[in-house]
Amino acid sequence: MSSKNNLLNKPVTRRSVLKASAATATVMAAPMIIPSTAYGYANEPKGAAVTLGFNVPQSGAYADEGADELRAYELAVEHLNGGGDGGMMGTFSSKVLKGNGILGRKVEYVTGDTQTKPDAARASARSMIEKDGAIMITGGSSSGVAVAVQGLCQEAGVIFMAGLTHSNDTTGKDKKANGFRHFFNSYMSGAALAPILGDNYGKDRKAYHLTADYNWGYTTEEAVRTSTEAMGWETVAAVKTPLSQTDFSSYVAPVQASGADVLVLNHYGANMVNSLTSAVQFGLRGAQVNGKSLEIVVPLYSRLMAKGAGENVKGIFGSTNWHWSLTDEGSKAFVRSFGEKYGFPPSQAAHTCYVQTLLYADACERAGSHDPCAVAEALEGFEFDGLGNGPTLYRAEDHQCFKDVLVVKGKENPSSEFDLLEIVEVTPAAQVTYDASIFGGELGSCNSGA
Amino acid sequence: MLGLSRNDFLMLLLVLFLVAAAPILLNPFPEGSSLAQFNAGYPDLMQRFLIFGIFAVGFNILFGLTGYLSFGHAAFLGAGSYAGVWMLKLLTINVIPAILMSTIVAGVFSLLIGYISLRRSGIYFSILTLAFAQMSFALASSVLQPITGGETGLQTNLNDPRILDGANTSGNIPAPSLFGFEMRESIQVPMGDWLWTFNVGYYVCAFVLLIAFYIAIRIFRSPFGMMLKAVKSNNERLSYTGINPRPYTLAAFVISGMYAGLAGGLMVAMDPLAGSERMQWTASGEVVLMTILGGVGTVLGPVIGAGIIKYFENIFSKINDNMLQSWFAFMPDGLESFMVAVVHPFVGKGWHLSLGLMFMLAIIFLPGGLIGGIDSVYRRIFKKRAQ
Amino acid sequence: MELSAILLQVLNGLDKGSAYALIALGLTLIFGTLGVVNFAHGALFMIGAFCAVTTQRLLSISTITIDETKTDFLGKPLQIKTPIVESWFGESVGQALIDWSVPLAILLTIPVMLIIGFVMERGLIKHFYKRPHSDQILVTFGLAIVLQELIKAYFGANQIPAPAPSVFIGSFDFGALIGMDAGKLLYPYWRIVYFCFALLIIGLVFAFLQFTTFGMVVRAGMADRETVGLLGIDIDKRFTIMFGIAAAVAGLAGVMYTPINSPSYTFGTDFLVISFVVVVVGGMGSLGGAVLAGFVLGILESFASMRQVIEFIPGINQVVIYLVAIVILLVRPRGLLGRKGVMES
């Protein structure tokens, strides 16, 4: 066995070591600058390639959303490596990406299955870090997974670019120095929705909340309650429903008799599809209560959910991070390259994942390094435009993006199977911005794994 | 030797060798080769092999010996995990109190559930354990959130008290360690084209597994173990002889519960997070499948079953089309895309399909699980030669 | 609490109980007749549900014409799809057929499920009669995963809406029927349809076992398989048919459930565990027990989900089924209507 003395290193970096040992030959041939230190940071790329880890749900209820995220990642990798039409790289306000990979290194990737379980997601992320030498982990379709994997990346010293996660906690109570979120959150949904609800349904309403019994459900209920109560609405009741619930009949049936005239479904994914279906079956939508027509609100919408719920979504308000029907240049470029490659428009999950990959690559280029701490510094306080949401700020205090929020509603007369939501209002970023300290938690210091 | 028969001692030595050399044995393919994807010699997966091995060995003490099929053992693993994380949060980041407390808490919890569930037998017992575990899962993910962290899971934090440790000023959450050796630390040894990773946490797990395995062998061969086997083969006759089997089965139940707790404690020692889905019936089902797949009632079988299932989950799920294309790149174009199309449904997002097919094929062709199957094949060949 | 609120939860419970009872009925038939623990039963329910999706898809097979005046999201000419049934039978009949695709799917479900049941029993389960229960669990669990993954590979993981015919959309004034004020107790039409359908199926299965010679032999076989075999009756063949019937019952429960919840490939696992609990609470080998336990647990679950109850005992809605199961099993060792000696070792 060879010498052990100089080989003690913390987070396990497998490919990097190999590349170090096999390096001499390649280094001579390739015209690149290799940092002199052996291990500046975790999984420091030594060869001509850099590995990203795409950790998405491939089994379970969110598998289709995960598949869409993976498509977006593959597209982003293609664009970063100079393939395809370049997508949003052409409209992105930062112009440092050249289509020659990241810092001249070809972008490679590994994929894994989060199963939408914190345990499995962490196992998958650990294998990417330990086995494949991934230098950045991204993806996911639930806040539980995002918080768990973000914690892991903080410990291992790699960057985590969150995928679809909407809970306040991801960049609030559980924020981490190595974690970044482009997607919006519950607070923003509440702040954007309330004025629209007020305009359409009036300021004198009684709301009944059904809330999925987990982290995301709580923050969403709280956000919508706070913002609607501030406007004059009254909350009649808030009932927690088990995450694994499939038949919501016994939860929606008592709504009408409670005297409430708005039903807020703080549900996502299968929960939302099933609860909305039950609510519509029970004739809640449009029922007459207090001389008003009973309305249903879904704070977080996705197109896949709208598809699952079919006819039931028509006319129902909600919010979304991005929608393919936006007409700014960035969105159009993204929809075009995604649509040409896969034959249908991208979902909001696909959009946020694509953008996160680009933002990461861009930050590496601007920092001139893959070092997580340098990348984090480059992302903090970064202002950009042209990625589909208008001018956006990556706030340094909590690593949350601030940008416009879309208020949407289920379309009455869809022109195609993808045309399920229509944009009612683009709420400006200023209206959904909050003080970074309100959710508590601390970032800690950046960990480069060195 | 060590109170074991010669065969058992050899088996223990074999396990010792396999476990010690696993970082080398599990990386048979050179780094960077297209088959390197099948290497399993990285710390996370190797730790999981051993942890689930302990879980399954313990489960087998109950199921294999007494025949009582518990469908709720994940509850003990989960309870142990929570206890472990709380120790890491409140007391010290050293893993020893966490592992001990996990085992104790799981033991107490299993005594409680076992005492009630063992009033019934057969499928009625299975459903009672299932019901208790599902209740634990449901409560852990809802009303007990302050203790369990709910669906997101319980994690260590920067501002945890950790009363035995000094004040933490690094700005980073401390990693679980054993007297200063962090579980995630590794020594990497490149050897030609190969790369071996010797991880501290893995060898801690290995040490615990060997002890757990040794105790299991002793139980299997002890008078107590004989008594448990008697419970399985004929419960009624046992009662006619004036022996009350309940204390024996309860002891087996508690021991296997403690093994589950030990596995949970090691899990959080390696990676300090405990999610509620660890207690769900699917997790309980998994250990049942591991045991059956490896071979019910065999000492070594459950460890092998655990290894296979975890291998599928972690290796097959990571194979994507990109890799398939690189594997078959040497073939002519048409054949390449054909092969990719053929293999595609079984890997990546289709890894469950491979797992399901493997369950079916293994049990159809190898009755009694892998160990049982190998044993009968071996005997058949041996008999033929003897003739 | 108002009477109407309580009645509403009773109706919800009966509705939930219908699904539990139908699945548990099939499970008990397989337990009782074949002595097999069938972990693939949830998957059979799910396949039934996807028969509805398939029927919908078949009826919606379309011819594609290109409308040059409109464009799709990429700016290409829009493709207009016209279902073939519309061009065959005219627009109104065609649309009606698509609208009724869920009830029509029953016609597809019965043969499909019978065939799946026969193939499963003859091809796989038959070889496991003499094997330990643990082997049966592993093989049926493996089969369930394979069936689910096949559905996922073809239909995807997202839920697919399969709505009820439009005449059944909306609510029925159940209160007025029993003499309450109009509008006090409304209940969705389709859920009432589902409950009636479940009663019909349960009635048919019981009548079949009670009043036909075939059923009599099967019941005798359930009680004492060996003796019936010794009498020279080919009990195996009948058991195959019973397996097919059990599969068909699960499939029918699934197909009619689709308008209540949009199906996805994990549709069956949600019911599997509860159905096992239902079967055991009802008593192993007792068909009546399975049905009774299904309705009882369904109603209790509904009551426990009421806001007033949750506020009183937090978390009760999530554990009530298991809690009741534990109490019943401790008080009545063999479930509500179980017999001694079935699956006890």
pLDDT of residue B232: 83
Contacts of B173 in chain A (CB under 8 A): 151, 154-155, 444
Q: Are C292 and C303 in contact (CB under 8 A)?
A: no
Q: CB-based contact (8 Å) between C188 and chain B?
A: no
pLDDT confidence band for B233 (50 / 70 / 90) = confident
The predicted pLDDT at position C341 comes to: 59
The answer for B 224-263 residues in CB contact with A (under 8 A) is none
Mean pLDDT (whole number) for A177-184: 95
The pTM (predicted TM-score) of the whole model is: 0.90
Whether residue C276 lies inside any domain: the answer is: no
Question: In this structure, is residue B37 part of a structural domain?
Answer: no
Strand, coil or helix: A409:
strand
One-character DSSP codes across C123-180: HTGGGGTTS-HHHHHHHHHHHHHHHHHHHHHHH-SS----PPPGGG-SEEEHHHHTTP
Provide, for chain B, the percentages of residues in helix, strand and coil under a 3-state DSSP scheme, each rounded to the nearest 5: 70, 5, 25
Residues of A in contact with C171 (CB under 8 A): 281-283
| Whether B349 and B259 share a structural domain | no
CA distance A387 to chain C (A): 18
CA distance C328 to chain A (A): 24
Least confident range from A17-26, A29-38, A101-110: namely A29-38
Give the three-class secondary structure for B10.
helix
Q: How far apart are CA B248 and CA B257, in angstroms?
A: 14
B88 and B169 in one domain? yes
Half-sphere exposure of A293 (CA within 13 A, CB side): 9
Distance between CA atoms of residues A119 and A361, nearest Å: 28
The β-bridge partners of A401 are A394
* Model pLDDT, residue A358: 95
Q: Which residue of A has its CA nearest to B158?
A: A444
- Taking the Cβ of residue A308 and every Cβ of chain C, the question of whether any pair is shorter than 8 Å is answered with yes
3-state secondary structure of C83: strand
Are B296 and C134 a contacting pair at CB < 8 A?
Answer: yes
| Structure-block tokens of residue C7 | 């009645």
| pLDDT tens-place string over residues A230-273 | 999 999 999 999 888 888 999 998 898 888 999 999 999 889 99
Beta carbons within 10 angstroms of residue A390's beta carbon: 15
Mean pLDDT of C224-248: 83
Above 70 in pLDDT, residue C110?
Answer: yes
Residues 177-216 of C with CB under 8 A from A: 186-188, 190-191
| Biggest CA-to-CA distance, chain B | 75
Q: Helical H runs in A42-85?
A: 63-80
Using the beta-carbon criterion (under 8 Å), do A112 and B318 form an inter-chain contact? yes
Of B120, B131, B293, the CB nearest to C277: B131
C50 touching B, CB under 8 A? no
Rank A63-67, B154-158, B179-183, C62-66 by mean pLDDT and report only the highest: A63-67
B308, part of any domain? no
Read off the tokens for A316: 């129902």
What pLDDT score was predicted for residue B175? 87
Who contacts A231 (Cβ-Cβ below 8 Å, separation ≥6)? A194, A195, A197, A198, A203
Asked if C157's CB is within 8 angstroms of A61's CB, the reply is: yes
B271 touches chain A (CB under 8 A): yes
**Per-residue confidence (pLDDT) for residue A1, from 0 to 100:** 35
Let me know whether B293 and B335 are in one domain.
no
Inter-chain residue contact C152 with A310, CB threshold 8 Å: no
Burial of B241 (0-12, 13-18, 19+ CB in 10 A): exposed
Could you give the strand order of the β-sheet that contains A8-9, starting from the edge strand earlier in sequence?
Answer: A8-9, B186-191, B194-199
B273 contacts in chain A (CB < 8 Å): 118-119, 122, 148, 151-152
For residue A385, pLDDT beyond 90? yes
Q: How many residues does chain C have?
A: 345
**What pLDDT is recorded for position C318?**
87
C107 located within any domain: yes
Residue numbers of B between 75 and 114 with CB closer than 8 Å to A: none
In a domain, B29, yes or no: no
Burial class (CB in 10 A: 0-12, 13-18, 19+), A210: buried
Which residues does chain B have within 8 Å of residue A9's beta carbon, measured at their own beta carbons? 186, 188
Rounded to a whole number, what is the distance in Å from the CA of A200 to chain B's nearest CA?
34
A223: closest CA among A262, A281, A167, A143? A167
Buried b (16+ CB within 10 A) or exposed e, B63-89: bbbbbbbbbbbbbbbbbbbbbbbbbbb
Taking the domains of chain A in order of start, what are their residue ranges? 14-184+325-403, 187-320
How many angstroms separate the CA atoms of A191 and A171, rounded?
17
Percent of chain C with pLDDT over 90: 44
Number of structural domains chain B divides into: 2
Q: Do the Cβ atoms of B356 and C273 come within 8 Å?
A: no
Structural domain includes residue C272: no
pLDDT recorded at residue A31? 31
Nearest CA in chain A to C81: A416
Contacts of B191 in chain A (CB under 8 A): 1-2
In a domain, C273, yes or no: no
Domain boundary among B251, B271, B299: B299
How many distinct structural domains can be found in chain C? 1
Domain boundary among B299, B330, B355: B299
- Name the residue among B135, B292, B350 with its Cβ closest to that of C138: B292
Q: Collapse the DSSP code of C11 into the 3-class scheme (helix H, G, I; strand E, B; otherwise coil) and give the result.
A: helix
* Residue among A282, A305, A306 nearest A294 (CA): A282
The neighbours of chain B, by the rule of 3 or more Cβ pairs under 8 Å, are: A, C
Residues A306 and A416 sit within 8 Å (Cβ to Cβ):
no
Q: A180 - beta bridge partners?
A: A161
Q: Is A250 on the interface with C (CB under 8 A)?
A: yes
For the stretch C244-277, pLDDT in tens is 999 999 999 999 999 999 999 988 887 888 988 9
Would you state the pLDDT for residue C345?
52
Domain carrying residue B365: 319-387
Q: Which domain-ending residue is among B241, B269, B299?
A: B299
Q: Is the pLDDT of residue A3 over 70?
A: no
Sign of CA dihedral A24, A26, A27, A28: positive
- Do residue B356 and residue C144 have CB atoms under 8 angstroms apart? yes
Contact partners, residue B15, CB within 8 Å, separation at least 6:
B209, B210, B213, B300, B303
Distances from the Cα of A51 to the Cαs of A82, A102, A138, A244, C83, in angstroms?
16, 10, 12, 36, 47
Instruction: Give pLDDT tens digits for C168-227.
Output: 888 888 778 777 777 778 889 999 999 999 999 999 999 998 899 888 888 887 777 777
Q: Is C301 within the bounds of a domain?
A: no
Residue A113 pLDDT class (50, 70, 90 cuts): very high
Residues 8-37 of C with CB under 8 A from A: 8-9, 12-13, 15-16
Nearest CA in chain C to B136: C319
Question: Domain range for residue C183?
Answer: 3-65+76-267
What does the alpha-carbon distance between residue C244 and residue C216 come to, in Å, rounded to a whole number?
A: 17
Q: List CB contacts (< 8 A) between A65 and chain C.
A: 158
In this structure, what DSSP letter does residue B345 have? G
B48 lies within 8 A of chain A by CB: yes
Question: In the block, which residue shows the tokens 């034959």?
Answer: A343
Burial B155-166 (b: 16+ CB within 10 A, else e): bbbbebebeeee
Whether the pLDDT of residue A35 is over 90: the answer is no
Q: Which of A108, A212, A109 is nearest to A167 (CA)?
A: A212
| pLDDT per position as a tens digit, B264-302 | 999 999 999 998 889 998 899 999 999 999 988 888 899
Q: Which has the closest alpha carbon to A284: A254, A306, A325? A: A254
Distance from the A304 Cα atom to the nearest Cα atom in chain C, whole angstroms:
7
A249–chain C Cβ distance below 8 A for any pair: yes
Q: Could you tell me if residue C103 is inside a domain?
A: yes
Q: Is C143 exposed, middle or buried (0-12, 13-18, 19+ CB in 10 A)?
A: buried
Q: Which pair of tokens denotes residue A73?
A: 């990642």
Of A17, A144, A442, the CB nearest to B158: A442
What residues in A contact B275, CB-CB < 8 Å?
117-119, 144, 148
Those residues with Cβ within 8 angstroms of residue B281's Cβ, 6 or more apart along the chain or in another chain = B71, B72, B74, B130, B133, B134, B137, C273
Q: Does B221 touch chain A (CB under 8 A)?
A: no
Q: Are residues B223 and B366 in the same domain?
A: no
CA distances to A11, B52, B200, B312, B348 from A129, in Å: 8, 21, 17, 18, 18
- Interface touch C12/A249, C-beta < 8 Å: yes
B44 at A interface, C-beta within 8 A = yes
- Say if residues B269 and B84 touch (Cβ distance below 8 Å): yes
* Closest chain A residue to B320, measured at CA: A111
Buried b (16+ CB within 10 A) or exposed e, B10-19: ebbeebeeeb
Name the DSSP letter for residue A400. Answer: B
Measured in whole angstroms, the distance separating CA C196 from the mean position of its chain's CA atoms is 14
Residue B46 to residue B49: CA distance in whole angstroms: 5
B177/B71 same-domain check: yes
Under the banding of pLDDT at 50, 70 and 90, the label for residue B349 is confident
Domain at A14-184+325-403: CATH architecture: 3-Layer(aba) Sandwich (3.40)
- Nearest by Cα to A134 from A169, A102, A91, A167: A102
C47 is a domain residue: yes
Partner A contacted by C288 (CB < 8 A): no
A20: confidence class by pLDDT, cuts 50, 70, 90: very low
Confidence of residue A38 (pLDDT cuts 50, 70, 90): very low
| Identical fold, A14-184+325-403 and A187-320 | yes
Contacts of C280 in chain B (CB under 8 A): 123-124, 127
CB contact, 8 Å: B20 with chain A? no
Mean pLDDT score, B47-66: 94
Q: Which of A55-59, A161-165, B346-350 has the lowest mean pLDDT?
A: B346-350
The reply to whether B56 and B199 lie within a common domain is yes
What DSSP character marks residue A419?
-
* Residue numbers in B near A148 (CB within 8 A): 152-153, 155, 273, 275
Among the partner-chain residues A8, A9, A122, the one whose CB lies closest to the CB of B273 is A122
Q: Phi, psi at residue A202, to the nearest 5°?
A: 90, 165
Query: Quick one: fold of A187-320?
Result: Rossmann fold (3.40.50)
Residues 6+ apart with CB under 8 A from B39: A131, B26, B27, B28, B29, B31
Residues of chain C neighbouring A311 (CB-CB closer than 8 A): 161, 163
In the predicted model, is pLDDT for residue A329 greater than 70? yes
Which chains reach chain C with 3 or more Cβ–Cβ distances below 8 angstroms? A, B
Q: Mean pLDDT, chain A, as a whole number?
A: 87
Spatial strand order in the sheet of A159-162: A106-113, A49-56, A136-139, A159-162, A179-181
pLDDT > 80? residue A29 = no
ipTM: 0.90
- pLDDT score of C240 more than 80: yes
